[in-house]
Amino acid sequence: MKLVIDTDTGSDDAVALMLALGNPQVSVEIITTVAGNVPIDLATENALATVALMGATTPVYRGMSKPIIRELHTAQNVHGSDGMSGAPIPRHALKESGSDAVTQLIEVSKKYPGELTLITLGPLTNVAAALLQDPHVLDRYKDVYMMAGSPEGWGNVTPSAEFNVWCDPESFKIVLQSGKRLTMVGWNISRDAAVIGAEEEAKIKALGTARAAYVIDINETLAIFCRDITGLPGFDLPDPITVAIAIAPEMIRRSEFVSMDVSCSEEMRGTIIIDRRHTAPPANVDVIWEVDRDVFLNSLYEVCKDSSNPSNYKGVSF
């Protein structure tokens, strides 16, 4: 399976990259970064640090530094000022491959037409910019999985909006209008199936590997946000479960193909609109409503078990 991952690398994105890079059945062709959780420089550095931790050589390309129209509002209050809870991750262990992620999203689709699965883990700015340059770019991707939105209207940045869509709703609208059948892994799935509570956290820590420590340490700030703001019984991992679903779609138990739009108004910014009327526009998004949580947890535990790297990631230049 060939993947392209577009990420605004905060702490949960990093775990998502681990799941992809650590799966022997998967080839991550390129990683593109976008501003969202953190500014673009940090998103790129965090992606490179995670690639280094995994002992991978996947090229990382820097992308858009702000939404297409709006100013950037980050989620550093959620993931920490560096996006990684201040954990001593190996900075500058690898160098980025370039600064033209948008072009790379287009070019790699031409290199492997019909073979690639695109996974988006942040705002859709890079993808929208690629569509504005090449309206057929997504047609060349086999599948597109988006960690985006809250289809039932339960938000994590406003009462009704999920961060990735709220950050750049105009780009999300461009992607919705691309004509490509898309798959949405919304925040509803993270709340239902990707919360790492005390029991799961203890199981990860007990593995005693660098990867396990990395997962826990970089998500400390997220855990506080989830406790104090979203009220979850642990920290949730929306981006990792998106990657898990893209790799193993058989874990989907219930989905619905719907006609979807998004509000770009200030009052309802980033709110997902699903139209189920007989007069609705053609359906464009497969919304996932239920998945197998055990499949996700097992994939997380498996990638954390690997002990081929040093047992202590702190201060190590991989």
Q: Which of 127, 116, 78 is nearest to 237 (CA)?
A: 78
The contacts of residue 245 (CB under 8 Å, 6+ apart) are 145, 183, 185, 189, 251, 252, 288, 291, 296
3-state DSSP assignment of residue 124: coil
Q: Which domains does the chain have, with CATH numbers?
A: 2-305 (3.90.245.10)
Measured distance CA(318)–CA(308) in Å, rounded: 11
**Residue, of 315 and 38, whose pLDDT is higher:** 38
What mean pLDDT value characterizes the chain?
Answer: 95
Contact by Cβ (8 Å): 70, 42: no
Measured distance CA(24)–CA(122) in Å, rounded: 24
Q: Which of 2, 14, 60, 5 is nearest to 38 (CA)?
A: 14
Our CA angle for 121, 123, 125, nearest 5°, is 120
| Percent of the chain whose predicted confidence (pLDDT) is above 70 | 96
The contacts of residue 30 (CB under 8 Å, 6+ apart) are 4, 5, 58, 59, 60, 61, 97, 104, 108
Q: What was the pLDDT predicted at 187?
A: 97
Residue 318 reports pLDDT greater than 50: no
Residue-wise pLDDT tens digits, 30-62: 999 999 999 999 999 999 999 999 999 999 999
Residue-wise pLDDT tens digits, 229-287: 999 999 999 999 999 999 999 999 999 999 999 999 999 999 999 999 999 999 999 99
